[in-house]
Amino acid sequence: MQNVIAYQGYEGAYSHLACKNAFSDMEAVAKDSFLDAMKMVEDGKAKLAMIPLENSTAGRVEEIYRLIPKMSLYVVGEHFELVKHCLLGLKNSKIDDLKYILSHPQALAQCQNNINKFSLKAVAKLDTAGSAKEVKEKNDKAFGAIASSLAAKIYGLKILKDDFEDIVGNKTRFFILSKDKIIPKYNPQKTYITSIIFQVRDIPAALYKALGGFATNGINLKKLESYSNKSGVPVSNFHIDIYAHIKEKSMQLALEELSFFAEKVKILGVYNKFSK
């Protein structure tokens, strides 16, 4: 298997930046879609995939919750990447030259106050780095982009304003996916996360009962998300992240109770809590 990590987007995307920061010794390869990036791992053409799950400002990436149940990959880690938006333009331009600002809708929303401040017209695009690439290709000083400093370097653009985001400290959480099921050896001195997806049974108070085992066994839930599988079947699907390792007795008891009130329970992975 190649020493490759796949991500969705153009070169210079925040996912690309996350790959470089988390796995500097690996070759980062861009793919057109999340599915293509994940399939590259499934096909053995990449060792890992860096997939965004949620953003502290914009919320969850809805598409990922639909893809996760279908994948044959495992979560082997998480990574948090600080999102620092830059206002980019051509090398010979300045902010006063700009009329249009291109970027992904989430990036535009995260910079709305500054966009208004400079009286710019926002133009939604599919990708931040792709927007930077388009500005370079247009070669028109009226067009700028909101993207990363890495995108500025790759596409030869000028950073007209750093920290262009409205809220400082915005972070994106990524799942690191592998074809191999890698579970770290349990160490009581470390903090682990177990990610699980399941459907609740068609019984009264099913979710309350399904999660009750975690409370009675003193296990803390980090995250609970509901999502639709868009199959037309009226069932409730949930994703939970739990501060526990599956080798812990309390966790085993909680999972046993979960199985009474839920079905299609799938452990996505057990991994170390991100720390930096």
The catalytic residues are 172, 174
Distance CA 224, CA 238 (A): 7
CA distances from 139 to 10, 90, 254 (A): 19, 7, 59
Q: What is the largest CA-CA distance in the chain?
A: 65
Q: How many CA atoms within 13 Å lie on the side-chain side of 248? A: 22
**Tokens (6 digits) for 24:** 């500097």
Q: Where are the beta strands (DSSP E) in 36-82?
A: 48-55, 59-60, 74-82
Question: Residue 78's Cα: distance from chain center in Å?
Answer: 9
Distance CA 242, CA 213 (A): 12
